Structure 1
Amino acid sequence: FMFITRMDASNEVPAQLQLQNIRHTLIRQEDTIIFALIERAQFKQNRVCYEPGAASFHEVTGEKSSFLDFMLLNTERVHSRVRRYTAPDEYAFFPDRLPPPALPLLDYPRLLHQCRVNLNARIMAIYQYKVHPAVCEPGDDAQYGSSVVADVNVLQAISKRVHYGMFVAEAKFLAKEAVYSGLIEAADEVAIMALLTDTAVEERVLRRVRRKAETFGQDIDAMDGPPPATRKVDPEVIVQMYKDFIIPLTKEAEVSYLLQRLSPSRLAFHASIGCCCGAIARQHVTSDAELHPCSSVQELFEAVLSNRAHYGLVLVEQTGCGLLPETVRGLRETSLIVLGEVTATVRYRLLSHSSLHEIRRVVGTAATLRLCCSWLRRTLCTAYEEVPLEGAAAAAAAEADGGSSSGTAYLVDSPASNDAATDDYAFNFCIEVDDALASTRARALVLGKRADCGQPTGHDKTLVLFDIADETGSLADVLAIFNRNGVNLSFIQSSAGSAARFYVEFVGHVKDPLVDAALSELRRLAAFVKVLGSFSASENHGRTLLG
C-alpha cells in the first residue's frame, strides 16, 4: 500500500495535489472498479451472504455478523497490520475494530487538513441495495466465499475513489483559497458544491467509463469480429452507478472536507483509563481546539504520522514508575520530535462496580498500590488482595471491565486539577484517594512534525537516545564527554537490549556550540544516537503549544 511522496521540482505544490496527477490517479481507479465489478458479476447475487446472523455462517461469523461483514473486517485487520490505513488515501470500513500496524510507521507528507470524513457506511448500503443487485444475476449458486472476496475488492475500490475526492477539494481550495474560505466561513454548502462542480468534466468521466466498460466486458477472442450482443456486465449499469452514486458521493466527500478545512488544529492524546493525558489536554487546550483520543500509545504515534492530528500528547514519566517503555519505543522508531513538555500533579481514584464493603481485589500498578496502601487499609471495610500490573495492563483491565468483575476495584490516576475526569469512567463508584502522601508528578511530551528543533532561547532542554557497547566503562566514557563540554545532564535512564540503551535529558539546545560539540563526540563513540527534541524549558512553553 504505497502512497507516492515525490514533489514537482518546478512547483511548490506537491505532485499529489496537482489536478493533472489527480486525474491520472482517478482514471486508474476507474479501471480497478470496472474490473472488480466484472469479477463479481460472474457469481449470482447470493443474498444470504449479506444477512446478519444467517444460519449458514454461524460457525464462521457468530450470530450477529453477516458473512460479508466478517470477511471485510478480517481483510481490513490483515491490511491494518501492514499499515494500509495509515496512508492518507485509505479509509477503513471498521476503523474502530482494527489492530495496530506491525510494520514500522511511515511519515507521510501533510497534504490534507485533518478531518472526520468517512463515507464507507453509505458506500456499503448503496453497494448492497443498489449496485450489487444491478450487476449480479438473481439467485444462489453457493459460491459464497468467491462472492464476498469479490465484494470486498469492489467496496475497497469504490471507497478509495470516493475519498480521493478530498485531494481534488484540497487542490481546488489552494487554487481559489480566498473564494473557498469565504464560503466555508459562511457554511454555504450549496455554493461550495456549485463551485466544485464541473459538468463538462463529469460528462467526460461518464463517456470514458462507458468505453472502458464496453471494452473490458468483452472476451478477447470476440474482439476481432462484430461487437458481442451481450457483455459480462451491462456498460450502462456501470455508467449509471458512476452517475448516481460514485460522482455524487465523491462530491459529498469534497464538500464535507472543505467544511472542515478551516477548523483548528487537532491534538491526539492517550485516552486509556488511568492515563492522565486526557485531563492534561482538556486543562490546557483552548476551547476551540479539537481533541482526538487514542486508545494506545502506538495509535497516537500513528495518528500524528498519518496526519490525522497535528500534535500528540503522550505520557513519558510518572514518579515511582520511571519512563514508559512504549513511549520511548515510539520516539526511537518514528520520525516525530518532541516540541515541549507538560507536567501535572497526579492523584488517584478507586473505580469499581461494587460498593466499598464488597471490594475484595484492587488492581493497579505496583507503584500506585504502594503509594495508596495506607489509604486503602483505612478505607476498605474488609481485607483485600492486591493485584499489581504494568501501567498499560492495569488500564486495559479497567477498560475491559464491563461490570462483570464483582468485588474488583481499579486504582487509576488523573491530574489533581481536573475534577471532571470522573465523567470519563463508566463505573458505579469513583472515590478520590484523599491521602496527601498518595500523589505524584506526571510528565507528558508534546509531539509533532518539524524540519528541525527551532532556535535556542537560552533556557532550553534537549532529549537524546543513544546505544553504547555493553562493556565496563562505556557509560563513564559517555558521561566524560558531557563533562568535558560543560553540558549538565538532568536525567538518565537505561533500558535492556542487545546493547546498553540510554535515554538522557540535559540543559541546553542542539544549536548551542557546547551541546553540538558534545553530540559530535557522542556520535563517534556510540552505535546509535538520536536527538528526540530540543525546546524551551520554560514551564509555559508546553502549555502554549497545546493552547
Structure 2
Amino acid sequence: MTARVGSSSVSEDALNLSFLREQLIRQEETIIFNLIERAQWKQNKIVYEAGGVHFTDTPLPSSKSFLDYLFEETEKLHSLVRRYESPDENPFYPAALPKPLLPLFAFTGPMHPNTININDRIKDIYLKLMVPRFFEEGDDGQYGSAVTTDIAVLQALSKRIHFGKYVAEVKFREDPQGYTKLAEEGNIDGIMKKLTNAEVEAKLLRRVHMKASTYGQEIGVQDSDKKYKLEPGRIEELYREYVVPLTKEVLYLIERSKGPQVSYLGPPGTFSEQSALKYFGRGQNMNQVRYLPCGDIEEVFSNVLSNKTVYGMVPVENSKTGLVHRHMDLLTKSEGVKICGEIYLPISFAFMVKDPSITLSQVQTIYSHSQGLEQCKEWLDSHANGKALIPVNSTARGAQMVAEDTTGTAACVANTIAGSNYNLHVLQNHIETSSTNVTRFLVISRHVKNLVPSGNDKTSVLLDTTDKPGALASALNIFAKYELNLSIIQSYPDKESKFNYRFYVEVQGHSDSPHFDKAIEELRQATVYLEILGSYSCGEKPANVTPQTRRK
C-alpha cells in the first residue's frame, strides 16, 4: 500500500526573512509583467459592469459583470485541481467553488491556522483606483484580452499580499509577547509600526521602479525619446500605497492572538455545533475558542487539512444507524489528520413547519440530513408516508430551507435549537425512533499530538495487511496477545489499489503504555502499513446507550 503524502510551498525550515524576501522579489516580476501586459488594452469599463457585455448565444447573468463571470469560471476550474486548498492561495469567489476532483491533500507548514482572505478589498482597489490610473481610457473592444489579464493581475496581487502572513509569522516569533500584547489591545497602529522597516521598504520601492523601467520600456528608442508601456512611477505608487501596507498582515497577527477555530457542519443550530460547544465550551473572550460553520463535512476536513482551522468536529457513529461510512472514509484518507478527542451527544428530533397554522396533512415536502431521516424512519413511515423526503447537507440547513420556503407546504426534521434559530413551529417533538438516540463525534486536528494518558483512553489505528489467508487474523491476534480490547474494526477501500482494503481499528488503551507499544512493534512486522491516528480520552457515554457498530 502506498503511504499518503503531503506537501507545502513553505516549510518550517524555510521560514526566515531571507527566504521569504526571495519569494516576494520573484512575485514582484509576475505583477509587473502582468500589469504591462494589461496596459496594451484600454480600460474597457463595460467588462466591469453587471450585464454590460452581451452575447447572442450565451447571455451572461444580469447580476454579473463579464469579469466576474469569467473569473468565477476560472476559479471553478482551478478549484478542481486543489488550487485553493493551499494556504498560499485565496479565491475571490469562495462560495462558488466546486469540490476538488483530486483527493484531499495535507499542506504542512509554519503558518498559524487562519481564514483571512482580503480579496474583496484587493479587487475593489484594483477596479476603482488602479484601472482608471494605470490604463488608457476608452473602449477598444478587446474584452477577452482585457479580462484575462485582469484576472492574472488580481491573482498575482492576491498571492503577493497574502504571502505577508508568512512574514508576519516570522516577526511574531521574534517577539511573541510584544505582538500578542498589541493585538489584545487592538493597537493596529502599534502593530503596523512594529512591522515596518523603512529601510527595507525604500529598497523595495527602488527595485520595483527599476524593474518597471527595464521591463516596460520600448527597445531601440533613444533615451531622450524613451517611452514606457506603463509608467514605472505608477507601479512604484501601487506598491507604496497598497501592496506594502496590505502585506503587513495586521489581521493575521490579531487572529493569531485569539483562540483556535473549530470547523463544524453548519449552518448554526446543527448537532455538530452543539457537540463542538459542549466539547470546547462557549467562548466570549479573545483567547477562547471560535466556531466556523461549513457547508458539508468535506469542507470540515478541507479546513483542517489546508490550515484554516485548528480543529474539526466530525459525526462518525450513531447508536441507531451505526458508523457514518462517508465520514470515516474521509478520515482514513486524509493525510496528517489526527484524532484528539471524542464526545457523545444525545440526539432528539422535532417535526417543524414555518406557519403554526399548517397541519401535517398539508405538508408535501420534508427536508433533513439523510441521518436525520433514517433515525426518524418509523415516525415518518407512520405519519408522513407518501410525502417527499429531501436529504440536505445538515438538519439545520433543512430548517433554513423551510424558513425560506414560500409554498407553505414544507417541513423539516431537525432539533429545536435550529427551529428556534429560524422561527419555526413544532408540530411534533421527539420523533426519533430510539429514545436513547446518541451520536458520537470525533475531534480532528493536525496540530495536536498524542495527549497525555488519562487512565481511560482509546487509540485509533489504520492498518493494511498482505493479501493472503489469515493475514488479518494474525494481526488482530497480536492485540489479543497483549490483552488490548478492540471496540471497532471496519474495512475501507483503498483508492490507490483496486480491491484492496485497509482497516480502521479502535483499541481500548493509550499508545504510550508499555504493552501497547510492544503490540504496535509486532504489528508493524505483521502489516504492510500501520498508522496511529491518535490516542485520546474516552468520551462519557450517556446512560443506557451502546453504539451499534462493533463489527465488520
TM over 0.5: yes
Q: Which moved more, 1:469-478 or 1:274-283?
A: 469-478
Q: Given residue 479 of structure 2, which amino acid in structure 1 is its aligned partner?
A: F
C-alpha contact 1:268 1:303 (8 A) present in aligned 2:
yes
Whether 1:356 and 2:359 are equivalent positions in the alignment is yes
Instruction: Give 1:24 shift.
Output: 1.4
Q: Secondary structure of 2:54's partner? A: helix
1:543 alignment counterpart = none
Q: Given residue 21 of structure 1, which amino acid in structure 2 is its aligned partner?
A: F
Aligned mate of 2:439, from 442, 445, 463: 442
Distance in 2, Cα, partners of 1:204 & 1:86: 33
Q: Given residue 314 of structure 1, which amino acid in structure 2 is its aligned partner?
A: V
Distance in 2, Cα, partners of 1:491 & 1:37: 58
Q: Given residue 347 of structure 1, which amino acid in structure 2 is its aligned partner?
A: S
Instruction: Give 1:91 shift.
Output: 1.7
Per the normalisation by structure 1, the TM-score is 0.85
Q: Give the alignment of 1:223-372 within 5 angstroms.
A: 226=223, 229-251=226-248, 254-271=249-266, 275-286=270-281, 287=283, 288-334=288-334, 335-353=336-354, 355-357=358-360, 358-364=362-368, 368-369=372-373, 372=376
Distance in 2, Cα, partners of 1:196 & 1:270: 37
C-alpha contact 1:45 1:138 (8 A) present in aligned 2:
yes
Distance in 1, Cα, partners of 2:67 & 2:8: 27
Instruction: Give 1:47 shift.
Output: 1.2
Q: Which moved more, 1:135-144 or 1:474-483?
A: 474-483
For these two proteins, the number of residue pairs brought into alignment is: 520
Instruction: Give 1:150 shift.
Output: 0.3
Distance in 1, Cα, partners of 2:269 & 2:226: 67
Whether 1:24 and 2:25 are equivalent positions in the alignment is no
Q: Secondary structure of 2:256's partner? A: coil
C-alpha contact 1:371 1:437 (8 A) present in aligned 2:
yes
Deviations 1:455-475 (A, max 9, x none): 444432112233457777665
Distance in 1, Cα, partners of 2:115 & 2:169: 15
Q: Given residue 411 of structure 1, which amino acid in structure 2 is its aligned partner?
A: V
Distance in 2, Cα, partners of 1:289 & 1:274: 17
1:140 alignment counterpart = 139
Instruction: Give 1:452 shift.
Output: 4.5
Instruction: Give 1:227 shift.
Output: 6.8
Distance in 2, Cα, partners of 1:155 & 1:236: 20
Distance in 2, Cα, partners of 1:467 & 1:480: 15
- Compared with structure 1, are the counterparts of its residues 485 and 298 closer, same or farther at alpha carbon in structure 2 (3 Å cutoff)? same
- Compared with structure 1, are the counterparts of its residues 67 and 430 closer, same or farther at alpha carbon in structure 2 (3 Å cutoff)? farther
1:74 alignment counterpart = 73
Q: Give the alignment of 1:68-467 within 5 angstroms.
A: 68-220=67-219, 222=220, 226=223, 229-251=226-248, 254-271=249-266, 275-286=270-281, 287=283, 288-334=288-334, 335-353=336-354, 355-357=358-360, 358-364=362-368, 368-369=372-373, 372=376, 375=379, 384-385=385-386, 392=393, 402-403=404-405, 406-412=408-414, 414=415, 420-424=417-421, 426=422, 428-431=424-427, 433-434=429-430, 438-439=434-435, 440-450=437-447, 452-467=449-464
Instruction: Give 1:185 shift.
Output: 2.6
Distance in 2, Cα, partners of 1:217 & 1:365: 57
Per the normalisation by structure 2, the TM-score is 0.84
Distance in 1, Cα, partners of 2:337 & 2:294: 17
Distance in 2, Cα, partners of 1:324 & 1:155: 41
Deviations 1:220-244 (A, max 9, x none): 5x27x64752121111221222222
Aligned mate of 2:478, from 455, 478, 481: 481
Q: Given residue 403 of structure 1, which amino acid in structure 2 is its aligned partner?
A: D
Q: Which moved more, 1:383-392 or 1:139-148?
A: 383-392
Q: Secondary structure of 1:121's partner? A: helix
Q: Secondary structure of 1:32's partner? A: helix
Instruction: Give 1:400 shift.
Output: 5.8
Distance in 2, Cα, partners of 1:299 & 1:499: 27
Distance in 2, Cα, partners of 1:386 & 1:491: 36
C-alpha contact 2:304 2:445 (8 A) present in aligned 1:
yes
C-alpha contact 2:54 2:60 (8 A) present in aligned 1:
no
Distance in 2, Cα, partners of 1:450 & 1:3: 15
Instruction: Give 1:218 shift.
Output: 2.6
In structure 1, stretches of 5+ residues that fail to align are 9-14, 541-547
Instruction: Give 1:285 shift.
Output: 2.5
Distance in 1, Cα, partners of 2:371 & 2:468: 31
Q: Give the alignment of 1:514-533 within 5 angstroms.
A: 514-533=515-534
C-alpha contact 2:217 2:226 (8 A) present in aligned 1:
no
RMSD of Structure 2 on Structure 1 (CA): 3.2
Q: Secondary structure of 1:260's partner? A: helix
Instruction: Give 1:445 shift.
Output: 0.4
Q: Secondary structure of 1:117's partner? A: coil
C-alpha contact 1:348 1:438 (8 A) present in aligned 2:
no
C-alpha contact 2:80 2:98 (8 A) present in aligned 1:
yes
Instruction: Give 1:394 shift.
Output: 7.6
Q: Given residue 243 of structure 1, which amino acid in structure 2 is its aligned partner?
A: R
Q: Given residue 449 of structure 1, which amino acid in structure 2 is its aligned partner?
A: R
- Compared with structure 1, are the counterparts of its residues 193 and 519 closer, same or farther at alpha carbon in structure 2 (3 Å cutoff)? closer
C-alpha contact 1:360 1:384 (8 A) present in aligned 2:
no
C-alpha contact 1:495 1:501 (8 A) present in aligned 2:
yes
Q: Secondary structure of 1:153's partner? A: helix
Distance in 2, Cα, partners of 1:5 & 1:377: 55
Q: Given residue 54 of structure 1, which amino acid in structure 2 is its aligned partner?
A: G
Deviations 1:246-280 (A, max 9, x none): 223333xx222222231111111122588511111
- Compared with structure 1, are the counterparts of its residues 386 and 370 closer, same or farther at alpha carbon in structure 2 (3 Å cutoff)? farther
- Compared with structure 1, are the counterparts of its residues 240 and 538 closer, same or farther at alpha carbon in structure 2 (3 Å cutoff)? closer
Q: Given residue 203 of structure 1, which amino acid in structure 2 is its aligned partner?
A: A
Q: Given residue 113 of structure 1, which amino acid in structure 2 is its aligned partner?
A: H
